[in-house]
Structures are given as C-alpha cells and as structure tokens.
Amino acid sequence: MGAVNIFGHKQKKTGLQKKPVIKGDFTPYKINYRELRIYKFNKFMAFCLLTLVVLSMASYFAVVLRESVVKDLHVKTNKIYYENIELQNNVDNLKSFYAIDNKVSQINFLKKADKVIEVKAVNSVAPKRKNNIDKHNLKQVPTGF
Amino acid sequence: MKYLFQLRSKKYDRWSILIQGSLFLFALIIIAKLFWVQIIQGADLKERARENRQSARDFSFRGEIVDRNGIRLAGDATLYDIYAHPQYYNKKTDLDLMTSILAKPLNQSKKEIKEKLSHYNESTISIAKNISMEVVEKGIRPEISKNEIRGLDFVKKNIRVYPQGNLASHILGYINSDANLAAGVEKTGQKNLVTTPSMKPVEYDGRGNIIYELNTNPKIVTAPLKGSKLSLTIDSTIQHTSETELKKMIAQTRADKGAVIVLNPRNGEILGFAVYPSYNPNKYNKVNASIVKNWALSDVYPPGSTFKILTIASALETGVITTNEKVLDTGKIKIQGWDIQNYDYYKRPYPGIIDLNYLFVHSSNIGSLKISLKIPPVKHYEMLKRFGIGQKTGIDLPGESAGIFPPPNTWSEVTHASMGYGYGIASTPIQIASAVAAIANKGVWVTPHVIKCQSEEEYLSRIKTRRVLSEKTAADLTRILAKSIEDSEATSGKIPKYRVAGKTGTSKKPNANGVGYSSGIYTSFAGYFPVKNPQVLIMAVIDSPKTGNSWGSTVAGPVFNAVATEVGRVLHLEPDKKDEEDKKQ
C-alpha cells in the first residue's frame, strides 16, 4: 500500500516510520507532527479570516445603514430649516418698524376727524330705570375690601 | 477526513503552482499600486481629494446680521431655478404630464411650458428662475416624484433678505454674489459672514453626499451649513428714530439729503446711522447708485460753525488761550482783501470784547478766526490731524473719504482764519462726529465702528484710540459748550432731563466744480449728553433745506432734540438736569 501525501509536498523521512511504537496492520501515512500543526494552524487562520470577513460585512452594513439614517435626517432637518427661515423672514418683515409704519399710515387712525359734531347738553336727570330684577334669584357675590 | 487523502496528479500540482503564482503576482501588483498611490502620490492625492470635498460645500447660508439686541437685520432665503434636460424625459408620454404639472405652480401658460420643453436638441432648458421653496417643495416636486418623471433639475440657491426693509440700509448695504459686488457691512463683514463654524467636521464628496466618519456627531451632521452671525452696534430703535426724525425734517424743509449719526463716545460704537434718501436693500438694483452710496462717509462738506469746537479745543490744548480768554469781536473784518463777518452782523454790528461763552452762543466768526490765527499753523494742523481731520476714521464701512485738509505750508492767512469757523477745509459728517466725540470721551479719540467686537482682544486689535486733548481741556470745553446751549435763545440742544454740550453749524454749499458757493446750505448740529457723564453723541447734518429761516438751530437742531430725547429714554440714561431747569427752558 502506497503512502498518502495529504499536503502535496515532499516528505522527510522521520524516526517514527523507522521505529513504530505499536505493531499492527495500519496504513502508513506520510504525515508527521509538524505538518499536522501546520494543518491545524491553517484551519484556525481560515476560521479567523472567515470571522473577520463576516464581522467586516456586518460592520459595513451597520455603517451604511447609519449613514443613510444620518443623511435622511440631514435632508429632513434642512427642509424644516428652509421652511423655518422662510417663516422667520415673513415674521420679521411683518413686525419690522417699516411694516408697522406703513400699516399705520394706511389705516391712518391718528387722523383727526374731518367734522366734529357738537352734542347738546344731556339732561341732568337720568331716566328712571324699571326695577325688574328678580330679588329672589340674586346670587350671593363675595365682597372684597 | 477522507478527502484529505486523495491522490493528486502532477498536472494538478502544476496548475496549482500556476494559479498560486498568478495570485501572488496579482497580490504583488496590488501592493505595488497601493504603495504608488498611498506613499508616492499620497500627499498630492490627499490634497486633490480635499479640494474636491471643499468644492462641494458651496451651498451654505450666509451668516445673519443682527443689531446689538439680536434683532435680525439680514438673513438668507432659499430659491430654486428649474431646468429641464430633454435627453432624460420621454417626449411622447412625459411632455403633456410635465406641462400640466409645471404650468400652474410656475404661473406660466401650458403653451409656454410646452414650447420650452420641446427644445429637444438642447441639453439644458431653463424653465423658471427664482421660484420659492414652497412652490417647488409642495407644488411641483411631489407630483414629479409620484409620476416618476426624470429630466427636471431643481437648482437650489440662496438670496439675501432684509426683513426690516429700509432700516439701516446704508449700514447693511447689499450683496450680489453673482457679480461679486457688495456694499455696507455685507462687504466689510464678508469674512465673518461666509466663515462656517470651525466645529463643523462634516465633509461632502463630489456628489454632495456626506462623507461619514465614525466620530461624526449626528447633531452636527444634520445641522444646516451656515456662516457666522455678524452683530452690529446699531440699536434698531435708535436707528428707526433717527431715520424717522430725519425723514420728517427733510420732508418739512424739502431738503436734498441728510444724515444722523448716533455714537457712544466711550467706545466708538455707532448706535444709529441714518442716511437719507434711503432705499430698500431687497431691491437695491432698482435704485440709483447715488442713493445706494453712503454720502455721510463719501461726500465732504464745509463743517461750518460746528468746527469752532475743534478750533477752540486746539487753542486751549496748545495753550494759546485760556478758558477766560477775551477777544475783540468787531463784527466784520477784512483779511487779504476778503470781507469776513458774523452771521448776525446786521443785528449786532460790533459785539466788542467777547468771551468763549459768547463766541459759542452767538457763533462768532470773528472771535473764532482771531483765536484760530493765534495758533501757529503747524501746531493747528497737528491738532486737527489728531482729531482725525483730513484722514479716514477707519470706520468698518466701505467708501470712506479722507476729506480735504491742505497742509500748513499752503495756508494763506485767510485760509487759516476761515478754518477757525469751518471753511477752507472739507470733512465728512463721520469725521466731525468722531472728532467731537473725542471731547466727550475726556479727550480720547476712538475709531467709530458698526461691527460689534466680540472680545477684548478684537476690540484692541480693531479699534484705535489716541489722546487728542488733556482731560482738563475736554472737561473745560464741555462745560463751556453746555453753558452756551443753556444761554442760547435757540431751542437746539435743550432737551428734557439732560444737559447737552454742543454746537450748531450752518455753512454754504460749495459748487460742484469746487469754485465758489451755490445758494444751498448745510445745516448741522453736533452735541453730546448727559454733560455730567457723556454717553451719547449725536451729529445731524441736513443738506440744502429749501424753506426760509434755515439754520443749524432751526433745521438740524430740532432733529437732534427729537433723537436725543428718544435715545435718553431708550438707553435709560441717568438724568443730569433738575425739573426746575426744564421748566425754566
């Protein structure tokens, strides 16, 4: 039975092959302790690489997701800001000194009356009011001092 | 683990070596390229990337301009220009739809829109300009998105808005970013207004997308990009009062133009700077350039009798006279063939021996010129230079003129004499205001300014101060000026609650060609108060009032009184006059 080279490169003869520890019908593999360690190390490295790839992908997606949220917020806040600034401009304009001056001059409420009507002297004796208050329905009002 | 023990052919090994070799070579090429890009070209590419990022930050709001109390005087609004790109929309199916979507909000006929959109051979078609954000965001964009129409471009731009209308128009100025033109503080404060805060670490790529960094603060990312706020020293209420009173007097006297400057002599802060005729900075391009110009900074005028303050101050400081000085006022005098007389010569032909109080009360030209001639020309020139005559004040507004002030070696006797009562030289109103303010500020001249200093360091670096007079001379002069106002028959400078130190001025208007005088006059009043502790200086100048009896005391004086009364109320200044004194007046 031929030996099997699992690593695909030239094998060195070792003392293990010359002096078997146990006897029996075993298939003689061309494998030694060093190669086995390399194999295990490679496996470990492959696992680390895979983990890193998975972690990087997850991190990338997290970053992209966060970025899109931030971008969305940026667009929304800018939109609100633009609206706000428009409204602020209008408010400032409406309450500006000049707007008030113009409004006052339009309304012209400080204008004096064109014609003043003289009212004759009113009667000094006031007309008597009919006393139709329901005395029984009067509410008690607390008096102050 | 069976597969591990399969036999491999030599052919497999050869291929394996070939593939491994190729991969190794490929990795080597990548490493070499990375080395080239990152190490060899690293610095250059980094710089190019930075330039690319900065160029994407063009759209930012210009900083706001506010008055000293935070009232917004200028801000930005957003507008859109709408463009169409025919190569992106379907001519058969989209055209009618686009026409119907755009026509109504843009206030254009369907025919007009369709005609514009039908220029298929053009790459970009301008559909409409300066469209408000509301129209675009609420009227057009949702419909465009809903119908999935491509080929319409909404280009955002900012436009400067001045919500207070005409208020402080000559201080604010205007900005035309396309033509790179500006005036007022929009020009002098440009650096501040376009500088975005340093705490803004956000960068954008060439397409305008945010370049995300793990340490980017989302709060900062989401805030809109905006320039720094510019605070002015102007008080809107004082500014409005100044403008209103000035406008009223100009309308009443049918004058050509006028200016009122209100400043704090202690620190040079300008509280109000009214210039008439004014304009609406929102429509600056629709008014004449002569109106947009701040004539109180660029144009010069003979200051007339207000200049007597500086003549007497110079004489007192140089020691050629004392506060008890007496001069012979003959009412009229002939110097080098020129007749010079007092304005009230026909009323008081020979006032005789007069003191400084009489000189100011009756605005004696003869008294002033005699004192002026007592000062050696070189010393007089030096004194007036210290007051800032003949040089720019350094105010933070553009277009300031230095005035006309000939050197002493060119002075004739009559030039020197006429300088005593404010002729023979030409100054800007701001020069006279800052010169008189130096007397109010215990003899220290301070640079007048409209942009508020944010720190002590900024104040020290921007604002120049120099001693012009001794504290004693300044105090003596203030006392004499205040007494002259009280003793005067005119009402100028007589306001409730406060004692005022000041002087009226009336001067002939020189012809435009500089030879001789026209029929027009300049009336002015420069005064400060409260005398006990001067905190406000007001300078009023009105050019060419056209009503009879136009003098500094009848035209500029009432403007001073009205503005001063309001300023005292607005600033809560401590009164220095008793009620009885008010009643007496």
- Read off the pLDDT of residues B417-474 as tens digits, 9 standing for 90 and up: 999 999 999 999 999 999 999 999 999 999 999 999 989 999 999 999 999 999 999 9
Q: What is the pLDDT of residue B2?
A: 47
Residues B432 and B556 in one domain: yes
When pLDDT is cut at 50, 70 and 90, the band that residue B23 belongs to is: very high
- The DSSP output letter for B123 is S
Q: What is the pLDDT of residue A143?
A: 45
Whether residue A129 is predicted with pLDDT greater than 60 in this model: the reply is no
- Give the domain extent around B114: 65-231
**Range in A63-72, B136-145, B269-278, B446-455 the model is least confident about:** A63-72
Q: What is the pLDDT of residue B375?
A: 96
B5 to A89: CB separation less than 8 angstroms, yes or no: no
A67 to B212: CB separation less than 8 angstroms, yes or no: yes
Higher confidence at residue A133 or residue B82? Answer: B82
Q: Is residue B13 part of a domain?
A: no
Give the mutation candidate from A4, A92, A94, A95 for the B interface (greatest B CB count, under 10 A): A92
| Beta-sheet pairing, B326-329 with B352-355 | antiparallel
CATH at B122 = 3.30.70.2110
Place of tokens 């010359």: A18
A74 to B212: CB separation less than 8 angstroms, yes or no: no
Q: What is the pLDDT of residue B16?
A: 87
CA distance A25 to chain B (A): 18
B137 to A86: CB separation less than 8 angstroms, yes or no: no
Of A74, A81, A96, the CB nearest to B164: A96
- State the Cα–Cα distance between residues B225 and B198, nearest whole angstrom: 11
Q: Is residue B187 part of a domain?
A: yes
pLDDT tens figures, B358-379: 999 999 999 999 999 999 999 9
Q: Which residues of A touch B163 (CB under 8 A)?
A: 89, 92-93, 96
Residue of A nearest to B78 (CA): A82
Q: Which residues of B touch A59 (CB under 8 A)?
A: none
Q: Which residues of B touch A97 (CB under 8 A)?
A: 164-165, 167, 236, 240
Counting one residue from chain A and one from chain B, the pairs whose CB atoms sit within 8 A come to 78
- Note whether A100 contacts B: Cβ–Cβ < 8 A: no
Residues B199 and B258 in one domain: no
CATH at B334 = 3.40.710.10
When pLDDT is cut at 50, 70 and 90, the band that residue A132 belongs to is: low
C-alpha dist (Å) from residue B366 to B132, B417, B420: 65, 9, 9
Residues B266 and B364 in one domain: yes
B351-372 CB burial, b ≥16 within 10 A, e <16 = beebebbbbbbbbbbbbbbbbb
When pLDDT is cut at 50, 70 and 90, the band that residue B328 belongs to is: very high
Q: What is the pLDDT of residue B426?
A: 94
pLDDT tens figures, B127-169: 998 898 888 888 898 998 888 888 888 888 888 999 999 999 9
Q: Is residue B27 part of a domain?
A: no
Longest dimension (CA), chain B: 137
At position B16, the amino acid (one-letter code) is S
How many CA atoms within 13 Å lie on the side-chain side of A58? 6
Alpha helices in B56-130 (DSSP H): 94-106, 110-117
A82 to B222: CB separation less than 8 angstroms, yes or no: no
Q: What is the pLDDT of residue B511?
A: 86
Residues B120 and B224 in one domain: yes
Higher confidence at residue B215 or residue B11? Answer: B11
Of B13, B134, B224, the CB nearest to A78: B224
Tokens, residue B352:
């005789």
Q: Which residues of A touch B210 (CB under 8 A)?
A: 67, 70-71, 74
pLDDT tens figures, B480-499: 999 999 999 999 999 999 99
Q: Which of B209, B231, B253 is the last residue of a domain?
A: B231
Q: State residue A74 phi and psi, 5-degree precision.
A: -60, -45
Tell me if B273 sits within 8 A of B400, measured CB to CB.
no
Longest dimension (CA), chain A: 147
Higher confidence at residue B6 or residue B363? Answer: B363
B165 to A93: CB separation less than 8 angstroms, yes or no: yes
Residues B545 and B442 in one domain: yes
Average pLDDT across chain A, whole number: 74
Q: Is residue B25 part of a domain?
A: no
Of A63, A77, A98, the CB nearest to B167: A98
B165 to A99: CB separation less than 8 angstroms, yes or no: yes
B218 to A73: CB separation less than 8 angstroms, yes or no: yes
Of B4, B8, B77, the CB nearest to A86: B77
Q: What is the mean pLDDT of residues B198-217?
A: 57
Of B76, B216, B222, the CB nearest to A77: B222
Residue of B nearest to A5 (CA): B5
DSSP line for B445-469: EE--BSBPP-SHHHHHHH--EEE-S
In terms of average pLDDT, the best of A76-80, B73-77, B578-582 is B73-77
Q: What is the pLDDT of residue B22?
A: 94
Least Cα distance to B195 among B63, B367, B356, B30 occurs for B63
Q: Is residue B297 part of a domain?
A: yes
Average pLDDT across chain B, whole number: 89
CA distance A77 to chain B (A): 6
Q: Is residue B500 part of a domain?
A: yes
Residues B205 and B352 in one domain: no
A73 to B221: CB separation less than 8 angstroms, yes or no: yes
Q: Which residues of B touch A98 (CB under 8 A)?
A: 164-167
CA distance B500 to chain A (A): 28
Tokens, residue B371:
């004192």
CA distance B5 to chain A (A): 5
- Note whether A85 contacts B: Cβ–Cβ < 8 A: yes
Place of tokens 């064109």: A114
pLDDT tens figures, B100-122: 999 989 999 999 998 998 888 88
Total domains in chain B come to: 2
When pLDDT is cut at 50, 70 and 90, the band that residue B199 belongs to is: very low
- State the Cα–Cα distance between residues B110 and B298, nearest whole angstrom: 51
Residues B349 and B396 in one domain: yes
A82 to B78: CB separation less than 8 angstroms, yes or no: yes
Give the mutation candidate from A61, A85, A88 for the B interface (greatest B CB count, under 10 A): A85
- Note whether A72 contacts B: Cβ–Cβ < 8 A: no
Whether residue B356 is predicted with pLDDT greater than 50 in this model: the reply is yes
Residues in chain A: 145
Q: Is residue B256 part of a domain?
A: yes
Q: Is residue B313 part of a domain?
A: yes
Residues B516 and B564 in one domain: yes
When pLDDT is cut at 50, 70 and 90, the band that residue B78 belongs to is: confident
Residues B474 and B424 in one domain: yes
Residues B191 and B265 in one domain: no
Alpha helices in B268-406 (DSSP H): 289-292, 295-298, 308-318, 356-361, 365-374, 377-386
When pLDDT is cut at 50, 70 and 90, the band that residue A1 belongs to is: very low
CA distance B117 to chain A (A): 28
Residue of B nearest to A91 (CA): B163
Residues B407 and B472 in one domain: yes
Tokens, residue B503:
């002087």
- State the Cα–Cα distance between residues B425 and B431, nearest whole angstrom: 12
Of B163, B221, B240, the CB nearest to A92: B163
Q: What is the mean pLDDT of residues B58-86?
A: 88
Tokens, residue B357:
């109080």
Least Cα distance to B577 among B537, B536, B530 occurs for B530
Whether residue B55 is predicted with pLDDT greater than 50 in this model: the reply is no
Residues B223 and B318 in one domain: no
ipTM of the complex: 0.72
Q: What is the pLDDT of residue B148?
A: 87
When pLDDT is cut at 50, 70 and 90, the band that residue B95 belongs to is: confident
Give the mutation candidate from B4, B76, B241 for the A interface (greatest A CB count, under 10 A): B4
Of A4, A85, A98, the CB nearest to B76: A85
